[in-house]
A and B are shown apart, each in its own frame.
Chain A
Amino acid sequence: MNLAGILNQNNLNRQQRESVLGWALILPAVLIILSLILYPIIYNIYLSFFDVNLEGGNTYIGLDNYSNVVFDSVFWNSVYTTILYVLFTTIGTTLLGLIVALAMNKEFPLRGLVRSLILLPYVAPVISVVFAWKFIFDPVNGIFMDITYEKLGMFSERFNMIGTPEYAVWVAILFSIWKGFPFAYLMILSRLQAIDATLYEAAEIDGANRWEKFKSITFPEVYFVVGAIVLLRIIWNFNKFEDIYLLTRNVKVLAVYTYFKAFTGYMEMGQGASLAVIQFLLLIGFILFYVKRVLKW
């Protein structure tokens, strides 16, 4: 029976008919969401309790995957790397975005051009900028070593900034800040432009200096935008994979560690699934806390 048929049945009143129509109209969207979002999540949670065998025949092993993951020191290393990465990239992108937005809010010649050029790192494809960065930091031919070691003599020897394990995470952080700050800049700038100029005029009459104006007017005005940007950045970077993996494979944040666990070597799909669940729980816990305390919803 088609939709018109159901709607024309005379035992439904007008309100009921509208409600049937409403459900019918959102049904395709609901089905898509259920099948594409909810099903994979539930299946992933289901897999995390099994020893997964790719040729079929999963065995239920309870919480073994979780205990195997949590009692592995590599896991805690990757939690530490993730926190380091998220913390510094979030602070870096937000601060840099704020500073650049404040500067771009002033009048100066060619402002329109400069404003759009700043967006370049954000809109350029990851893979092409990753290759450019690899060239820049190449230990033998790269421009970075040429300037810092050859020309300025800042280091005692050439070294591989991207590849060396102890520096790699800092390059990844630097890369993420460079690539992500235009987003914060864009959001903050648009909020800045909406601040009423009379507020600043009134503050000047009261004799406020620059810092006081920033503290009492600008900051409260952009507070919630910054709060939202920080939240988004934390969510994005907590799950960040492609930037880090393409740039250097030895920065094992949780997302990269999960990939290695689940899809390379002796493929531990079940443990990979449990890692994803742990990551999800950590993130949800943090978001709930953040939304309550910082965004004060």
Chain B
Amino acid sequence: MKKAILIILASLLILLPLSVFAGGAEEVQEAGPVSFDFWTTETQSDRMATIQVLIDTYTTLYPDVSINLVAVDENDLATHVQTASAAGTLPAMFEAPAETAVAFGVEGILDTAAVTDIVNGIGKDKFYQGALKVLETSAKDGYYALPYHGWVQGLWYRADWFEEAGLEPPATWEATLKAAKYFYKPDENQYGILVGTKPEGYAEQCFTPIAMANNAALFDKDGKLVFNSPEMKEAVEYYAELAKYNPPGPQTWRARDYYLQGKLAMFYYSTYIMDDLALQEVAAGSLTSENFENLKGSGFDPELVDKTKLAPIMTNKASAGYGTVVAFGLFNQDDSAKTAAAKNFIKYLYTQNAYITFLHMAPGGMNPMLKEISTNARFQNDPKGIFKHYGAEKMGEIIQGLDSIETFSIVDGNRMEAASVITAQQIIPQMLYKVTQEGMDVDKAMAWAEGEMEKLVK
């Protein structure tokens, strides 16, 4: 591992100066040593190691800069930022899902001018437009943060089981519920579906396409809160019905292990799962019956990837897909040297080699936001062989899907900033928890959620 890191480091060192200078020698180096914090939501140790390699490479090029990498869990990010903001200790740079970044922008704690400057430097037309749109300020005069990578979510399902049972793919409300019921066999320790029921971000990620497929929205195009609608109520009721065919108790994305063990028919997940499906050693590292042979259930199936299909779009009254853009942003700093240094570091991360190294942390899961990278031969030749496994064409489709991301926060092409704040505060997940786990009446739970949303909107 160490050796591998060294080799990567060495090769980057050789390649990097070329690309940096090729990109333009207009970089002005700050005077005197400067140090800044970088908060990332990539908390897994191997991902942090890769980012650290990039930081080490950069700081070797610019010895006056030191960057302190801090991992923050995505679910705790909003809380940490609010307290750091009150204490005046915000980091210069952060990585966060676009919705969260917009919520920070609405609070006025982001340096949007510096970010917009980087976007213009790289060239607006080089980005996927859908991704930039998500991060545009409401005045449409700039950007809250820079799109860096993104994933698409969908319902992954056991195509072989569906075929055998003669069931339709789970692309509609009706087909999904029918299949969830059919495959729910708790006596055999097998479950129909996995949707999020813990009060965490994952629950909202599962709920959003289901609600949007029913034309339910948080806001109308004039920015009025229309959460408590018959469409939304139907969606919550439908979700609660689906959740009955979940594995027992409150669940979150970690339960995807049950799918890898052959105990689950369908689960909502991002394209990050491609990694785990295609690579047996990754899956074997999780809780499988290979490691616990007395437990009921089948072992890891190396053919699982061929038996698995993705339904990225959910349809009922309308059709909806879901995905998330992950962005880099800059918090306002008292010391402008820190912002300048962070800005330079972000520019570096957009250079070809650094970018591809970053994305290769999770091929399939991390997809580029610059069009030229997605067709780059080196990017498509990922070390884990995911592109080879799924084929460049299928991967291309996934990346293209990022251009048409839909969320509660975009209504008729207008960005609803308040929706991002609601997402960041996880009100919908809490409501879903109340309904599915605490048995709260749907009307009561929705009234509660509406009350919380009104507090935030106000």
Interface residue stretch chosen among B8-16, B290-298, B341-349, B353-361: B290-298
Q: Is B17 an interface residue (CB 8 A)?
A: no
With known contacts A54-B82, A140-B263, A146-B294, A162–B452 Cβ distance under 8 A = no
Contact with B along A51-66 (1 / 0, CB 8 A): 0001100000000000
Q: Which residues of B contact A143 (CB under 8 A)?
A: 295
Which residues 56-84 in B have Cβ within 8 Å of A in the complex? 79, 82-83
Is A163 within 8 A of B296, CB to CB?
A: no
Interface residue stretch chosen among A210-218, A264-272, A282-290: A264-272
Is A54 within 8 A of B85, CB to CB?
A: yes
Is A265 within 8 A of B287, CB to CB?
A: no
Is B199 within 8 A of A140, CB to CB?
A: no
Q: In the complex, A264 Cα to B79 Cα: how many Å?
A: 6
Q: Is the interface of A mostly helix, strand, loop or mixed?
A: loop
Q: Which residues of B contact A266 (CB under 8 A)?
A: 425, 452, 455-456
Pick from A150, A158, A165: contact of B248, CB under 8 Å: A158
Pick from A157, A161, A163, A265: contact of B437, CB under 8 Å: A163
With known contacts A157-B186, A266-B452, A250–B250 Cβ distance under 8 A = yes
Q: In the complex, A161 Cα to B248 Cα: how many Å?
A: 9
Which residues 19-36 in A have Cβ within 8 Å of B in the complex? none
Q: In the complex, A139 Cα to B297 Cα: how many Å?
A: 13
Pick from B85, B247, B294: contact of A140, CB under 8 Å: B247
Query: What band does the interface of chain B fall in when counting residues whose beta carbon is under 8 Å from A?
Result: 35 or more
Q: Which residues of A contact B79 (CB under 8 A)?
A: 263-264, 267
Q: Is B258 an interface residue (CB 8 A)?
A: yes
Which residues 135-167 in A have Cβ within 8 Å of B in the complex? 135, 138-141, 143, 146, 150, 157-165
Q: Is A17 an interface residue (CB 8 A)?
A: no
Q: Is B282 an interface residue (CB 8 A)?
A: no
A-B contact count (CB 8 A): 79
Pick from B249, B297, B430, B452: contact of A163, CB under 8 Å: B249
Is B250 within 8 A of A263, CB to CB?
A: no
Which residues 252-295 in A have Cβ within 8 Å of B in the complex? 263-267
Closest Cβ neighbor of B191 among chain A residues: A140
Q: In the complex, A162 Cα to B252 Cα: how many Å?
A: 14
Is A163 within 8 A of B250, CB to CB?
A: yes
Contact with A along B232-257 (1 / 0, CB 8 A): 00000000000000011111000101
Q: In the complex, A143 Cα to B294 Cα: how many Å?
A: 9
Q: In the complex, A110 Cα to B433 Cα: how many Å?
A: 50
Q: In the complex, A237 Cα to B456 Cα: how many Å?
A: 34
Which residues 29-55 in B have Cβ within 8 Å of A in the complex? none
Q: How far is the CB of B266 from chain A (nearest CB, A)?
A: 15
Q: Which residues of B contact A158 (CB under 8 A)?
A: 186, 189, 248
Q: How far is the CB of A180 from chain B (nearest CB, A)?
A: 25
Q: Is A191 an interface residue (CB 8 A)?
A: no
Closest Cβ neighbor of A52 among chain B residues: B86
Pick from B248, B430, B452, B455: contact of A139, CB under 8 Å: B248
Q: Is B438 an interface residue (CB 8 A)?
A: yes
Pick from A146, A150, A162, A249: contact of B249, CB under 8 Å: A162
Q: In the complex, A164 Cα to B456 Cα: how many Å?
A: 29
Known contacts A146-B295, A160-B248, A163-B249; 13 further A-B pairs (Cβ under 8 A): A54-B83, A55-B86, A55-B107, A139-B247, A140-B191, A140-B255, A140-B263, A141-B295, A157-B186, A159-B249, A264-B79, A264-B425, A265-B426
What are 15 residue pairs bridging A and B, where the CB atoms are less than 8 Å apart in the complex? A54-B83, A55-B85, A55-B107, A135-B287, A139-B247, A139-B248, A140-B191, A141-B261, A146-B296, A163-B198, A163-B437, A165-B438, A265-B425, A265-B430, A265-B452
A-B pairs, top 7 by smallest CB distance, nearest first, are A160-B249, A163-B249, A139-B248, A54-B86, A163-B250, A160-B248, A266-B455
